[in-house]
Amino acid sequence: MNIGIFDSGLGGLTIIKTMLENLHGVEMFYIADTANAPYGEKTKEQIIDFSTKITQYFIDKFQIDALVVACNTATSAAIKELREQYPDLIIIGTEPGLKPAISHSHSKKVGILATPATLNGEKYKLLRDELSKQYKVDVFEQACPGLVQQIELGELDTPKTLSLLEGWLAPMREADVDTIVLGCTHYPLVGESIKKVMQRDVKLVETSHAITKRVDELCHDSMKCKNGNSLKIFSTGEISQSMIEMILTQKYYITHIKI
């Protein structure tokens, strides 16, 4: 089973990690599109272009059976077009886990950290409005420009990163938000910093396990082999080798490509 996974940078590796731990007999190919990062500050048309080119690269080079769009921003902007253009390809997206966050929250005050593009997505807005009314919950949204770049640099708990998080999270802390949706695959990497700034053991909701479960459901019949998985990582620009090793807890050789 060949699966292509992509994100604008390191964030999608948080999903790769869970897939490696829970799936068997899968050959994974990961593209970190760092030459065009961050996606969250690009136009919808640009993101569709990046996503389409990467998908075609996967098909041409690796004959993938399934695609995981390991990026909330790319999912919001491009997944509809990808499914229309590649109707025979299994395509799995990444969306903010707003519903599980609402069901978990005791205070009925839920925060969401995401990129501007994700928060402006029509599908997300419809889901937010529907769930807010249905469950009578207050949703505190916060775009986090610059946070992806900090994470890509490995600055997970530096004074600058903590200062950015303080500015974004202070209103949530004061409002008694007890659950925060991590609406970008990069953000689990600063989970401990978020808890530090919130000054409580706030529940953080990310979707790597839900995505892995969906891959298993859709691809199970094709994953006959019970042997281990393999992973090859590609990057379109600069990427931190040390951060990759930290996330995946082992060393991988990175191939630089042009798409």
Are residues 13 and 90 located together in one domain of the fold?
Answer: yes
**pLDDT at residue 16, as a whole number:** 97
**Mean pLDDT lowest for which of 90-104, 158-172, 177-191, 225-239?**
225-239
pLDDT mean over 207-230 = 82
Q: How many domains does the chain have?
A: 2
Same domain membership, residue 75 and residue 136: no
- What residues make up the domain containing 108? 98-205
- Is residue 114 domain-shared with residue 164, that is, in the same domain? yes
Give 225's pLDDT tier (boundaries 50, 70, 90): low
Same domain, 113 and 238: no
Mean confidence (pLDDT) of the chain: 94
Indicate whether 158 and 249 sit together in one domain. no
The domain boundary residue, chosen from 168, 190, 205: 205
90 and 104 both lie in a single domain = no
How far, in whole angstroms, is CA 242 from its chain's centroid?
Answer: 20
Structure confidence by residue, pLDDT tens digits, 8-30: 999 999 999 999 999 988 999 99
Find, among 217, 147, 185, the residue nearest to 69 by Cα: 185
Residue predicted with more confidence, 221 or 34: 34
One domain, residues 231 and 245: yes
Specify whether the CB–CB gap between 150 and 95 falls below 8 A. Answer: no
pLDDT of 226 strictly over 90: no
Residue 224 has pLDDT above 60, yes or no: no
Which amino acid, one-letter code, is at 62?
F
- Assess whether 146 and 220 both reside in one domain: no
Both 111 and 199 in one domain: the answer is yes
The enclosing domain of 113 has a CATH number of 3.40.50.1860
> Scanning the structure block, which residue is given the tokens 């272009």?
49
Residue 6 shares a structural domain with residue 76: yes
Helix (H) or strand (E) holding 180: strand 179-183
Task: Give yes or no: residues 186 and 237 share one domain.
Answer: no
Do 38 and 111 fall into the same domain?
no
Tell me the pLDDT tens digit for each residue of 35-67: 999 998 899 999 999 999 999 999 999 999 999
Q: Residue range 123-137: average pLDDT?
A: 90
> 83 pLDDT exceeds 70?
yes
- What is the pLDDT, as a whole number, of residue 122? 86
The residues that are catalytic are 71, 184
